[in-house]
Amino acid sequence: MDDMILYNRLQFAFTITFHYLFPQLTMGLSLLIVYFKWKFLRTGIIDYNDAAKFWMKIFALNFAMGVVTGIPLEFQFGTNWAKFSELTGGIIGQTLAMEGMFSFFLESSFLGMFLFGEKLLGHKLHFVTGLMVFIGAWASGFLILATHAWMQHPVGYEVLENGRFILTNFSALFKNPWLLPSYFHNQAASLITSAFFVASVGAFYLLSNKHITAGRIFVKTGVVFGLIASLLVAFPTGDMVARNVVKYQPVKFAAMEGVFETEKGGSEIILIGQPDMVNKKLDNKIAVPKILSFLTYQRWDAEIKGLNEFADPIHPTNVPGLYYSYHIMVGLGTIFIATMLACAVMLWMKKLYQARWLLWILMIMIPFPYIANTAGWYTTELGRQPWLVYNLLKMADGVSPTVSGGNALFTLLGFIGLYILLGLLFLLLVIKIVYKGPGSNLAVK
């Protein structure tokens, strides 16, 4: 049984991790594309229109990959997690169906119009199609996060005698106090990925001395949006999410912060340390006294319960994984703020485009927002374990009883091989688009 659960978890973790590499770019990129098109309508500078069309090509490729890798996730609810689907389908099916029917079709329909309908529609209607793509992408994220919020903090439900969950208050799904903080935090994080991606491509153009006008537009736009998004991820959205965790999942908060013992007079914030699960303590820690209490409750002496205050059965099943994921996310987030702040200062001083060392930093930063987003989602999901629906349905009770560990492992290996090929194909196509560059109006030779 343990092997079966492990392999099913590994399969879903791998497929959803790979899948989310693509939506996190499309959601943020859709906003930047709208900005580029709006800027063109406002200024009449053709460079911005070419920028919008250039990035929509990469958006479309990302969107296609997101669809291809997202479909297996839906099937896994019925194959690997059939009991979970049977018991909770009356609730999670509502938001997932809405995401497919409304957001996906809205996004895909207007994407085609944006890609191929500029001459027919004219620039103003072309802008509207881009705006609708943005609305569809962000609505899709909202409905998926509504499903996830219910699993983290279930509301508006009733449990029948047979163990099935039914929805008794539809509006409660969207009034869930977990939803909006996690949604805004997630969208800001996706905008970081897109901003760094755009800025990195721009830095590449400037460093290679081609498509100079495009490079300057991409760098400036990426830095401005990236700085705003990096700050929003930390505050207020990150703070709001942390407050929800403290209020509704205090055991998760203690584990991800590395607080094993309750400290009287205020809790320290851990900068570095290694969890020792045998002795239930943190080794080799570097900490700042009382800061965690102040950040959490705005009081230096506020008490935060340590992990040892809670019974072992409700501890997260992988405390070290949770702790390291959280600190990777926070550490990278701090680096993002510092990087974008330095770039913004140089941009204001009109020295950024000539600062090759800073352009190199921007260019090589491109994978790190993906790592930070992945670490953030691992923090969220590892912190919920051993529950599928927090405090109501355990993981062991949601797995499919008829899918063996061997079957799950075999299909996991198949997914790994297939997704490696898809990933390589995606990278080749993106590199080809980037190498070709934007339209001729943007090319400076």
With respect to residue 445, please indicate whether it lies within any of the assigned structural domains: no
Alpha helix positions (H), 122-211: 123-152, 172-175, 179-208
- Number of residues written out for the chain: 445
With respect to residue 296, please indicate whether it lies within any of the assigned structural domains: no
pLDDT in the model for residue 1: 57
pLDDT in the model for residue 441: 42
With respect to residue 181, please indicate whether it lies within any of the assigned structural domains: yes
- Is 103 in contact with 139 (CB distance < 8 Å)? yes
With respect to residue 267, please indicate whether it lies within any of the assigned structural domains: no
Residue 85's pLDDT band (boundaries 50, 70, 90)? very high
Q: What's the gap between Cα 406 and its chain centre?
A: 31
pLDDT in the model for residue 356: 97
Give residue for tokens 């987003």: 373
* Residue 440 pLDDT exceeds 70: no
Least confident of 118-127, 284-293, 434-443: 434-443
pLDDT in the model for residue 38: 98
pLDDT in the model for residue 100: 83
The pair phi, psi for residue 50, each rounded to 5°, is -65, -35
Q: Which domain holds residue 93?
A: 2-262+305-436
Averaged pLDDT, 74-101: 92
Q: What's the gap between Cα 228 and its chain centre?
A: 16
With respect to residue 251, please indicate whether it lies within any of the assigned structural domains: yes
With respect to residue 198, please indicate whether it lies within any of the assigned structural domains: yes
Mean pLDDT computed over every residue of the chain? 94
Residue 148's pLDDT band (boundaries 50, 70, 90)? very high
Helix (H) or strand (E) holding 388: strand 387-389
pLDDT in the model for residue 101: 81
With respect to residue 101, please indicate whether it lies within any of the assigned structural domains: yes
The fraction of the chain above a pLDDT of 70, given in percent, is 98
| Per-residue pLDDT tens over the stretch 223-246 | 999 999 999 999 999 999 999 999
Averaged pLDDT, 53-77: 94
pLDDT in the model for residue 442: 38
pTM: 0.96
Residue 182's pLDDT band (boundaries 50, 70, 90)? very high
With respect to residue 271, please indicate whether it lies within any of the assigned structural domains: no
Q: Which residues contact 65 (CB under 8 A, 6 or more apart)?
A: 22, 422, 426
Helix (H/G/I), strand (E/B), else coil: 274:
strand
Number of domains in the chain: 1
Strand-pairing partners, residue 361, are: none
Alpha helix positions (H), 235-367: 237-248, 250-257, 291-297, 319-348, 356-364
pLDDT in the model for residue 439: 76
pLDDT in the model for residue 315: 95
| Per-residue pLDDT tens over the stretch 253-270 | 999 999 999 988 889 999
In the numeric block, which tokens belong to residue 94?
A: 């509502």
Residue 444's pLDDT band (boundaries 50, 70, 90)? very low
CB atoms within 10 A of CB 424: 10
pLDDT in the model for residue 102: 80
